[in-house]
Chain A
Amino acid sequence: MKRIAIGLYAAATVALLVWGYYQAIFVAPDEATMHEVQRIFYYHVPSAMSAFLFFAVSLVGSIGFLASRRNYPEHAQRFDAWALAGAEVGVVFCSVVLVTGPIWGRRAWGIWWTWDARLTTTLILWLIYVSYLLLRRFAAGPQVQTLAAVLGIFGAIDVPIVYMANRWWRTQHPAPVFFGGPDSGIKDPRMLAAFGWNVLAWIAWGVLILGIRYYVERQSQKALAREALEALNQV
């Protein structure tokens, strides 16, 4: 039963992705100044939103792990798996943002990269979470979960500071499309629809791979626990 549900969800996600692609390429109208290259926006922004969402999942997992590691070790293991899965999937989406952004910027601004508030924040966010994944790979043994959780919290605290620092420094990125002032917001309903479908599709896709990553991590946690138990039994 569970298998069927997961299969259905995966199929629905792929269908959503195809539908979102169709909306973005064939339905949404051409933008007046940027023309075709503006369609990158339909992949770029939903990926950025998903990345932030999954980094938030990772932060919740880190805090949950630290809070529960003494009294509820079983819960703590789950939290840790969420923290790792969130960070890894977030890094994947963040990579998409960092790759599609310059491609768009080259056509729209004429430059690949600029040290602007949001670009720099995203890049540093990516660096922080890559360093988080590196720590998990380098540090061995049972303390790695605790150390990674601490680093995850540090990274999350750093993000608003980075953002403020760069905002004071310089800003070139277009103002936020939503909640960015009186002129913001997408006017054309077909563009809005294409954008909305892609947000939905990419978040659904992200949740799917988050679930797979979580499952794989849980399996490896169980395998480790089992190995430890068998080693104990042999003594």
Chain B
Amino acid sequence: MTRALWTHLVKDLRIEWRSREAVNSMLFFALLVVVLFSLSFDPQGAFSRDIAGGVLCVATMFASVSALNQAWAREIRHQVLDAQRMAPTPGADMFLAKVLANFLFVTVVQVVLAPVFVVMYNLRILGDAWKLALVLPFGTWALVANGTFFAALSIRSRNRELLLPLILFPIFMPALLAMVLATGSILTGDSDPSLWIKLLFGYDIIFTTVSLLLFEIVLHAE
């Protein structure tokens, strides 16, 4: 871990600690999505296990978009981003620090949300519950790494808040599919989720590498 990365990470965490904007808004939004789905489908028994994985993933996905939009909007104010473009540290450090910070935020949201979720959907996990500790971080990483990258990509466009989900969701779809199916098979205990965990892992590796390679280009696009 380089020093630049550490500095960026500490800075992002400190800003978030002082305002707690991102985590609070994400948490409330995800809660709303969970409640809305629970209201519209009235989940009970086996049916709730079938849809719970999907609802959790989609709720996290929608919630994190708002936070990801904020991630770079902070840097735009007072031309901070321009200053950082001129700094002699590699852009990849800044990117990785942002991803780590957002990953932490989304994970916090998921940890807080999980009990609510179990209550609302009357869940009893039939598969290996510990595998969730692999699926959720991998899926979150896929979402956050791509989301941070695309947020940086769309930051200088008109109506960027609208653009981010439009370009993020199509690319994120295979990871979402793997995440939903893995969570579903853990909750129902019907099938083995290891294939989907491997797919998520591969997706993470591939897209994190590509993002790190291409981030410099996006940062310095003029």
Contacts and interface: CB of A to CB of B under 8 A. Distances in A.
Instruction: Tell me if chains A and B make direct contact, with any CB pair below 8 A.
Output: yes
Interface of A: 66, 124, 127-128, 130-132, 134-135, 138-144, 146-147, 150-151, 153-155, 157-158, 161-162, 164-166, 168-169
A146 B166 CA distance: 18
Given A138-B163, A140-B158, A128 B153 contact: no
B171 A154 contact: yes
A157 B207 CA distance: 8
Given A139-B158, A153-B210, A169 B217 contact: no
Chain A contact surface mostly:
helix
A147 B171 contact: no
Given A139-B154, A161-B203, A147 B174 contact: no
B206 A66 contact: no
B88 interface: no
B116 interface: no
Given A138-B159, A139-B158, A143-B222, A165 B178 contact: yes
Contacts of A155: 170-171
Interface in B125-177: 150, 153-154, 156-159, 162-163, 166-167, 169-171, 173-174, 177
B61 interface: no
25 contacts: A66-B217, A124-B173, A124-B174, A127-B169, A135-B153, A135-B154, A138-B158, A139-B154, A139-B156, A139-B158, A143-B222, A144-B157, A147-B157, A147-B218, A150-B153, A150-B214, A151-B150, A151-B167, A154-B207, A154-B210, A157-B207, A158-B173, A158-B174, A161-B202, A165-B178
A158 B150 CA distance: 14
Contacts of A147: 153-154, 157, 218, 221
Given A134-B163, A141-B156, A157-B210, A168 B174 contact: no
Contacts, number: 89
Interface string B205-222: 011001000100110011
- Top 8 nearest A-B pairs (CB, nearest first) are A139-B157, A143-B221, A146-B221, A127-B170, A165-B174, A128-B170, A131-B167, A162-B174
Contacts of B181: 169
Contacts of B195: 168
Interface residues of B, number: 31
Contact of B170 (A124, A141, A142): A124
Nearest to A129: B170
Given A135-B163, A150-B214, A162 B153 contact: no
A128 B181 CA distance: 22
Contacts of A169: 177, 181
B199 interface: yes
Nearest to A130: B170
Given A139-B158, A165-B178, A150 B217 contact: yes
Nearest to B172: A158
A132 B150 CA distance: 12
A153 B211 CA distance: 11
Given A128-B171, A151-B150, A151-B167, 11 more contacts: A127-B169, A127-B170, A131-B166, A132-B167, A134-B166, A135-B154, A135-B163, A147-B221, A150-B218, A161-B206, A162-B173
A8 to B, nearest CB: 40
Nearest to A140: B158
A168 B199 contact: yes
